[in-house]
Homo-oligomer: A and B are copies of this chain.
Amino acid sequence: MPYQAPVRDYVFLLRDVLQLERYADLPAFADAAMDTVEAILEEAGRFTAEVLAPLNGVGDKQGCTWSPDFTVRTPAGFKEAYRQFVDAGWPALGSDPEFGGQGLPHVVNVAVSEMNSSANMAFAMYPGLTHGCYSAIHVGGTPEQKALYLPKLSSFQWAGTMNLTEPHCGTDLGLLRTKAVAQADGTYRISGQKIWISGGEQDLTENIVHLVLARIEGAPAGVRGISLFIVPKFLPDAGGDPGERNSVKCLGLEEKMGIHGNATCVISHEESVGFLIGEENQGLKLMFVMMNEARLGVGLQGIAQAEAAYQAAAEFAKERLQGRSLTGPKNPDGPADPIIVHPDVRRMLMDARAIVEGGRAFMAWTALHGDLSHAHPDEAVRQKGRDYMALMTPVVKAFLTDRGFQVCSDAMQVHGGSGFTEHFPVSQYLRDVRIALIYEGTNGVQALDLVGRKLAADGGRGVMSFFAELDAFVTGEVDPAMKPFTEGLAKAKGELQEATMWLMQNGLANPDNAGAASTDYLHLFGLTALAYMWALQARSALGKIAAGSADPFYETKLTVGRYYLERVLPETASRLAKLKTGSELLMKLPAEAF
């Protein structure tokens, strides 16, 4: 059975848990009535299962091909699938109607993006970055730039890329050397080499819009001297169509462990023509519009691959006959029982469910706050939305990819020896998802962003608001059936708060303490956030059951949720214990002892 999109789970999340229809009065939500949304999800599920999923293995085996004329060929079928993708109007879902988009809330887009990414992560990355490029120009472009680029990016006729990394500079963008020289006509000439540019060259779109970080001649050193440029592969002509070929070239492709269907390019700028976007030396801020969106998209990839790997593992576990149940045969007429009867196989499948469904709720909940930060009339709600988006972005990115990788590895384990062979899809899921822990800022960088920047922002307003929300939820629940959920959540929140206090007391005195605690803190945060997501889902499920629903979906939700509390959440205690040990032993050895 090929990948099946989790439409049912998203309908539950959007309709019952997040209750999108509460916001029907807001302009962005006007077209997001649940019947519309449901129809969109059904259709997206069909498209991903029928068009994108069958190309996933093809992309992995063929990879992309670079030619000495600097062109790149994507795997067989990608071009046609991309055309169908654009023709069906999928790309425009979340874009501004002024520029040809459909203007749906981003939370709906998250659902569709997860499906795309589950079905074919390497393919989904091509349009995935385009939306970020669209957003950066939407926020920072001049009216002329918007008019020129946004309709083409919104329809995904043109693709967008991020040109940040250089061979000697990844995380530390202050070291960036690519230079920009101002021309008399107001344009710039960009020169330098960029690496690891996803979709930096391809044969899917008629044009590619590179967003390039470079240093204008004479600009200050470090991060304060970095500007952002639009560098189109073909310079738009007077009519806005692709004109003269710009001197931006793909010099080659990286050999990688996974995402073979996506072209990871070495990009050379040799006096390529660039257009400044935003103000001089303010490029990083604008790039972070795209980067933050990309980070949420990477967290989504963690869940997306985990979902696909879980489905493959569950199917295998139900079909593979091997051994007998410890409590007596469950398939007495067959030669053996299906391996799903074994508790340790169940453990891996239930862990996967607990992470995937909890993580999906966390993505959607965060995306909804992002929508409200733009769309809500009440500034307090908008502010909370902005605070949460900032605070949760590193958690969504790092926690969901760390856990998604673990789920993919467990899914391989369920397959036994078959999982290690390339005849089954799970090796690809594991190899593909691994990059998600690294790119758009490694998970360690995310953890440092969380403890070093996000926690303290605006006097800790975001995290305090989150704690208050959790407290209100816990104290507001009176249904005895919710007790395991509120108790588990309250305990985790208490530990997270203790960790937060510890950081405040010890991280300022010695920043290495904050760094040493950062990854354990991020996981403690993620575990607590998912406890909240499971409590929210449990409340909705209990409500449905109380209202008379006999759909087993709701009882299953309660079971998986309680499993999360019993078998995943206990990890919080050891995370707290570890992070409170500080940095002394960690930093004690001299570098040469390694």
Contact = CB atoms under 8 A, between A and B. Distances in A.
Interface string A432-444: 0011011100111
A270 to B, nearest CB: 23
A323 B512 contact: no
Contacts of A171: 322-323, 416
A594 B349 contact: yes
A196 B417 contact: yes
Copies in the complex: 2
A510 B326 CA distance: 9
A175 B347 contact: no
A578 interface: yes
Interface stretch (A90-98, A113-121, A332-340): A332-340
A151 B350 CA distance: 51
Interface in A138-193: 165, 168-172, 175
Nearest to A566: B581
A169 B437 CA distance: 36
B421 A586 contact: no
A416 B431 contact: no
Interface in A563-594: 563, 566-567, 570-574, 577-578, 581, 583, 585-589, 591, 593-594
Interface stretch (A32-40, A227-235, A253-261, A272-280): A253-261
B419 A438 contact: yes
A420 B257 CA distance: 6
Interface stretch (A284-292, A298-306, A405-413): A405-413
B442 A413 contact: yes
A309 to B, nearest CB: 13
A343 B594 contact: no
Contacts of A435: 420
A317 interface: yes
A585 B556 contact: no
Say what secondary structure dominates the interface of chain A.
Answer: helix
A68 interface: no
Contacts of A419: 438
Interface stretch (A383-391, A466-474, A515-523): A515-523
Given A322-B175, A518-B343, A587-B346, A442 B420 contact: no
Interface in A61-86: none
Contacts of A562: 585
A573 B569 CA distance: 12
A566 B578 contact: yes
Contacts of A588: 559
Contacts of A335: 168, 175
A417 B577 CA distance: 31
A570 B439 CA distance: 30
Interface string A503-521: 0000000111011101100
Contacts of A170: 322, 416-417
Contacts of A258: 420
Interface of A: 165, 168-172, 175, 196, 254-258, 314, 317-318, 321-323, 326-327, 335-336, 338, 340, 342-350, 353, 405, 409, 412-413, 416-417, 419-423, 427, 430-431, 434-435, 437-439, 442-444, 447-448, 452, 510-512, 514-516, 518-519, 552, 556, 559-560, 562-563, 566-567, 570-574, 577-578, 581, 583, 585-589, 591, 593-594
5 contacts: A170-B416, A254-B423, A326-B514, A405-B409, A417-B439
The 8 closest A-B pairs by CB, nearest first: A343-B515, A326-B511, A570-B577, A314-B594, A343-B516, A255-B422, A344-B444, A257-B427
Given A170-B417, A257-B421, 19 more contacts: A168-B321, A169-B322, A171-B416, A172-B322, A256-B427, A257-B422, A318-B591, A340-B591, A342-B444, A342-B448, A343-B516, A344-B515, A344-B516, A344-B518, A412-B434, A413-B443, A417-B438, A571-B574, A573-B573
